A and B are shown apart, each in its own frame.
Chain A
């Protein structure tokens, strides 16, 4: 085989003064980077295999290791970046599509970082969340335009029957990550944490393992183009059903779980033979138009006796506002929009990095469009794709989201270091892998605790920010763009976001 033109992406510095040759790094690396020498006192490293996941660095008991980006490999060039050159070398050698994992890592503008929040001063007292209640409870689902109430009796009687709702104690939901793309333990961590904090996790498109049926009240199940593991009990056990049309990381294309990941348990969950490839087609082959979507929405509603909300997830693409409006009219109780920075277990890099639009813009447009059409209350808006902190959450809500999905942030909470190698199945952190040596590295008891802590911490921060604005219920911030101001954005961007420039008053 001809010599590869690639060279290692990372440099491993082993401090000889500190290394005690304990071999922890050797035992932890699934990529066989570290190797004990015959002479037991030294450890050697094969840098070309390193993916920069930092597992060895984290576990090294003497802090002898540093893994960093290898500098100076390519001659600096403003046009031909390292990413482009590496891509060309890899493709010239392999002849294939470049794969990657997690969300888009290009430096497109992140609008969250250009939006600033308001606070009360003098004319309006801010509220201290340590002394006064501040409410984050939110309901997702179709809302009636008005309630019919019988006022004649001793106490008023609501006569309107409310559409089914999802009750969220915190407006943060764990986004769709299938068992298959992530490990059993990772999924268990999410499900247990969702139950503990009063929110939901999403099964992704890979069915629901029987062990997780008891968590059904906190699980949204997905029906995607592959229809893996979809059957009556699956639909009925869940708190809501989400039809997945598209994913922010790979709008317009399907999915592929390679056969080697289809273990016995996954085959049982997805209802496909062991070791067979699980291929989700790019479109649903029974949905070639919006009226077909309506049929699927109502087929599912029939199957679950209209007892639970049905969501439809679409990727944020150029015409997202009009599409979302169609989705609402097709009967979706919740519309999920996933932006370009949304994560994935595997996607062609060129798609992930170049297709779709940022979620902030999509959200602002969809919310405005639905309001101008007078149908905003027909559906709740759940948004996904690059929520990194409580500040992003609260800004999303002020822009008009009912709640946000977090996927990457939850995985980072579990230990993910964003090495973007999920598609290899060799996740050293035990998250995106089915290898039993690796999956046991994620103890779901720890995972649950970390996720619960994370969501708690965010909810404290959200309460602080709400209180500062003099708002004691999250619904008073929802879609309240008066509390947002833009810095460093063009007029057009401000207009698309529906937000005034910082410095402008009311």
Chain B
């Protein structure tokens, strides 16, 4: 399965990945609307970690042995058999946060939609290059 590879030596800490991820997962998919008109504002599923001059963008690694899938009591958190992507079926998520507690990387967030659900990187649906990779101005993220 293709994964997002992080080249932290080229991450410039601009956080455009976060912004583009948010837009991608917003209702409108349009940047100005997503930020200024949609409420609650969508959450980015990628996060730039920084210390000193080092930075890198972290998102779900779609672990082979994913504890979030293991620990999900409703079966919402699951792996797509074809693509291998770990994703959350929002219909079935009950917001128990077992996934958040078991994730070793802390990349699952609580998101307020009609109700509170777990939100995480879905590799933009698994079709083509995820938006964080495609829009990174310095090619610090690779999808391979």
Binding site for B on A (CB under 8 A): 17-18, 20-24, 27-28, 59, 61-62, 430, 435-437, 440-441, 443, 445-446
Contact size range, B:
20 to 34
Contact B15 A24 (CB under 8 A): yes
| Contact B12–A441 (Cβ < 8 Å) | yes
Cβ-defined contact, B32 with A18, below 8 A: yes
Give me 7 other A-B pairs in contact (C-beta within 8 A), A21-B35, A61-B19 excluded. A18-B32, A27-B13, A28-B12, A430-B12, A440-B11, A443-B140, A446-B138
10 contacting pairs across A/B (C-beta < 8 A): A22-B19, A24-B14, A24-B16, A27-B15, A28-B12, A61-B16, A62-B31, A435-B53, A440-B9, A443-B7
Cα–Cα distance between A492 and B34 once the two chains are bound (Å): 64
Answer yes or no: B20 CB below 8 A from chain A CBs. yes
Q: Please list the 4 inter-chain residue pairs (A to B) with the smallest Cβ-Cβ separation, ordered nearest first.
A: A20-B35, A436-B53, A437-B53, A443-B10
- Is B75 on the interface with A (CB-CB < 8 A)? no
A17 to B20, CA, bound (A): 19
Chain B interface mostly: loop
Closest partner residue, chain A, to B142 (CB atom): A445
Residue B36 CB within 8 A of the other chain: yes
CB interface residues, B 103-144, toward A, < 8 Å: 137-140
- The distance in angstroms between the C-alpha atoms of A24 and B15, with both chains bound, is 7
Contact B31 A61 (CB under 8 A): yes
Per the bound structure, the CA–CA distance linking A440 and B35 in Å amounts to 29
Where the two chains meet, the residues of B that have a C-beta atom closer than 8 Å to any C-beta of A are 7, 9-16, 19-20, 31-32, 35-36, 53, 137-140
- Give the shortest distance, in Å, between B25 (CB) and chain A (any CB): 15
Residues of B within 8 A of A27 (CB): 13-15
| Chain A neighbourhood of B19, CB < 8 A | 20, 22, 24, 61
Given contacts A24-B19, A62-B31, contact A440 B12 (CB under 8 A): yes
Complex Cα spacing A21 to B35, Å: 9
Contacts of B36 in A (CB 8 A): 20
- Flag if B12 contacts A61 (CB, 8 Å): no
Q: How far is the CA of A23 from the CA of B14 in the complex (A)?
A: 8
Closest to B35 in A: A20
Contact B16 A59 (CB under 8 A): yes
Closest B residue to A445 using CB positions: B139
What distance in Å separates the Cβ of B68 from its nearest Cβ neighbour in chain A?
29
Nearest CB of B to A417, in Å: 15
User: A42 to nearest B CB, angstroms?
Assistant: 12
CB nearest to B138 among chain A residues: A443
**Known contacts A24-B15, A440-B12: does B137 contact A59 (CB below 8 Å)?**
yes
Q: Which residue of A lies closest to B20 (CB)?
A: A61
Contacts of A21 in B (CB 8 A): 35
* B20 / chain A contacts, CB cutoff of 8 Å: 61
Closest Cβ–Cβ distance, residue B83 to chain A (whole Å):
27
Neighbouring B residues of A20 by C-beta, 8 Å: 19, 31-32, 35-36
A407 to nearest B CB, angstroms? 23
Give the docked Cα–Cα distance between A24 and B10 (Å).
Answer: 16
CB distance from B48 to the nearest CB of A (A): 9
